[in-house]
Chain A
């Protein structure tokens, strides 16, 4: 029995000790929770160990001191109870001098009534607003975020102050850029309008007097033939020839400038048909030169039909014009489907592009001019040996580019010229890329 009593007493002591430890632990937790202790001494075996506490409160205090926003606590009268050092920097005052002052002292006059509204509203619920801080001649644009805090001492208001200077500067820059963009756009629209005006002037106002010169020169020539000498008549003929040239030039420039404005629709067209129609119109000129045009199996593409016809016409008339004396011009037109948008693209029956070639047996030109021939008014031959304005190939290139295509020329003097074009079978966005 003694043994049982002994065991019971041991257990009771152990229970007592456990209860005491539990009570101590509870006390410690409470002390930690309420922030009453800064350090704990804990017995571990024979030694004591000291644990200092970094309380949650402390963490937040560091956090608030180091953050980039200003932070304030106000009482219900709007007096500053607490300010972080960032707010002190914003105002340019030591924190110690700020505490005890009414916050509205730092609000710019224009914003004061707005701030008062914010302040009043905030007691009913969180709110935000932009104001300007004003102190010592310096103005800072800020955003205020107001939140009510329930502390032991009663209600107070916390305000987070975000400096908007950088944001405002960025916004101002953006606005300035937008304004400049608008201005540029306006200038562009104006110059576009001027160009259209020019086209209209060129089409009528320039051509009317020109036609009169043509008309009266023709009349004069009729009247004075047989009266004036051969040399005089030759002068008149030069006037007539020049006016004809000028007329062609004006019409060509007009066509070129209209290409930019023309966003005509792309339609699916059989290039064999386009070419056939064109050849009918060119019949006389081709027969005159005893020319031969060979083509077969051209593809069906999405094109601006009128423009594609213009391309064919320009290339064919070029070949006929620059044919070799005494040799009948032969123009071979071929096409194949290719895989990618490249002049040297690999043939592929399922390709999405078409390589179109126009090859002639004409006089050709030096390869070094292969790029310049597409420039406006670029001519390789003197005016009296070949007629033309030097606009035809520029128009051709512009049309091909409007079709999202490529064009290149290859030539050997005395052998002939080949024009190579790559065109997509389908136009992705109806020409507006």
Chain B
């Protein structure tokens, strides 16, 4: 995937916590290698977004917060991976607390990786770099 290294990645973030949305956009918004799509607040909104997106204009990757109202990270992941139109979009879960159960479930359902929410600016950059390396 060396050829795709230079391509700008479009990221869709599903996150209900306004502080976390703000951290994400504040620290990652200036990166030239990323396009941050307008954030959505839960799983249902992820599907609304994808339905409206014309084929081919899907995000390059989706980051799901696990702890969201209505449709949480794992539930959203399961539905995405069961839909042939969306199943190829790489999905990452992130959460304040990750335990063995969450990691196991997520990987089984088809997530690329599960990440712990960063606690510093450097942490955010490191998380995104790890994600970009994995897709």
Q: Do A and B come from one complex?
A: yes
Identify the stretch in B35-43, B49-57, B116-124 within 8 Å (CB) of chain A at 4 or more residues.
Answer: B116-124
Q: Is the CB of B121 within 8 A of A212?
A: no
> How many residues of B are counted as interface, with CB atoms below 8 angstroms from the partner's CB atoms?
14
| Distance, CA A208 to CA B117, complexed state (A) | 10
Q: Is the CB of B119 within 8 A of A211?
A: yes
Say yes or no for B19: interface residue by CB 8 A criterion.
yes
Say yes or no for B86: interface residue by CB 8 A criterion.
no
Query: A-B contact count, CB below 8 Å?
Result: 30
Say yes or no for B99: interface residue by CB 8 A criterion.
yes
Q: Is the CB of B99 within 8 A of A218?
A: no
For A214, the chain B residues whose CB sits under 8 A away are 119-120
- Give the nearest-CB partner of A255 in chain B: B99
| Distance, CA A219 to CA B118, complexed state (A) | 12
Q: Is the CB of A218 within 8 A of B97?
A: no
Q: Is the CB of B19 within 8 A of A204?
A: no
Within 8 A of B (CB), among A196-224: 203-204, 207-208, 211-212, 214-215, 218-219, 222
Contact of A212 among B19, B97, B118 (CB under 8 A): B19
For A222, the chain B residues whose CB sits under 8 A away are 121
- Give the nearest-CB partner of B102 in chain A: A203
Within 8 A of B (CB), among A173-202: none
Least Cβ–Cβ distance between A90 and chain B, in angstroms: 66
| Distance, CA A394 to CA B24, complexed state (A) | 38
Contact with B along A285-313 (1 / 0, CB 8 A): 00000000000000000000010000000
For A218, the chain B residues whose CB sits under 8 A away are 119-121
Q: Is the CB of A203 within 8 A of B121?
A: no
Q: A204-B67, A204-B97 are in contact. Are A211 and B120 (CB under 8 A)?
A: no
Say yes or no for B88: interface residue by CB 8 A criterion.
no
Say yes or no for B105: interface residue by CB 8 A criterion.
no
Say yes or no for B82: interface residue by CB 8 A criterion.
no
Within 8 A of B (CB), among A205-246: 207-208, 211-212, 214-215, 218-219, 222
Contact of B96 among A211, A219, A254, A306 (CB under 8 A): A211
For B119, the chain A residues whose CB sits under 8 A away are 211, 214-215, 218
Within 8 A of A (CB), among B95-123: 95-97, 99-100, 117-121
| Distance, CA A204 to CA B66, complexed state (A) | 10
Least Cβ–Cβ distance between B49 and chain A, in angstroms: 25
Say yes or no for B23: interface residue by CB 8 A criterion.
yes
| Distance, CA A71 to CA B96, complexed state (A) | 80
- Give the nearest-CB partner of A203 in chain B: B97
Q: Is the CB of B120 within 8 A of A215?
A: yes
For A204, the chain B residues whose CB sits under 8 A away are 67, 95-97
For A306, the chain B residues whose CB sits under 8 A away are 100
Identify which of B19, B100, B119 gathers the most chain A CB atoms within 10 Å of its CB: B119
For B95, the chain A residues whose CB sits under 8 A away are 204
Least Cβ–Cβ distance between A216 and chain B, in angstroms: 8
Contact of B121 among A207, A219, A251, A254 (CB under 8 A): A219
- Give the nearest-CB partner of A208 in chain B: B96
| Distance, CA A36 to CA B4, complexed state (A) | 123
For B96, the chain A residues whose CB sits under 8 A away are 204, 207-208, 211
For A251, the chain B residues whose CB sits under 8 A away are 97
Q: Is the CB of A203 within 8 A of B120?
A: no
Least Cβ–Cβ distance between A35 and chain B, in angstroms: 87
For B120, the chain A residues whose CB sits under 8 A away are 214-215, 218
| Distance, CA A215 to CA B22, complexed state (A) | 12
| Distance, CA A203 to CA B116, complexed state (A) | 12
Q: A204-B96, A207-B96, A222-B121 are in contact. Are A215 and B67 (CB under 8 A)?
A: no
Least Cβ–Cβ distance between A263 and chain B, in angstroms: 14
Least Cβ–Cβ distance between B106 and chain A, in angstroms: 15
Within 8 A of A (CB), among B54-103: 67, 95-97, 99-100
- Give the nearest-CB partner of A222 in chain B: B121
Q: A203-B97, A203-B99, A204-B97 are in contact. Are A211 and B117 (CB under 8 A)?
A: yes
For A211, the chain B residues whose CB sits under 8 A away are 96, 117, 119
Within 8 A of B (CB), among A248-267: 251, 254
For A215, the chain B residues whose CB sits under 8 A away are 19, 23, 118-120
17 contacts between A and B (CB under 8 A): A203-B97, A203-B99, A204-B67, A207-B96, A208-B17, A208-B67, A208-B96, A211-B117, A211-B119, A214-B120, A215-B19, A215-B118, A215-B119, A218-B119, A218-B120, A218-B121, A306-B100
Top 7 nearest A-B pairs by Cβ distance? A214-B119, A218-B120, A207-B96, A203-B97, A207-B97, A208-B96, A211-B96
**6 further interface pairs, Cβ-Cβ under 8 Å (given A214-B120, A215-B118):** A203-B97, A203-B99, A204-B97, A211-B119, A219-B121, A222-B121
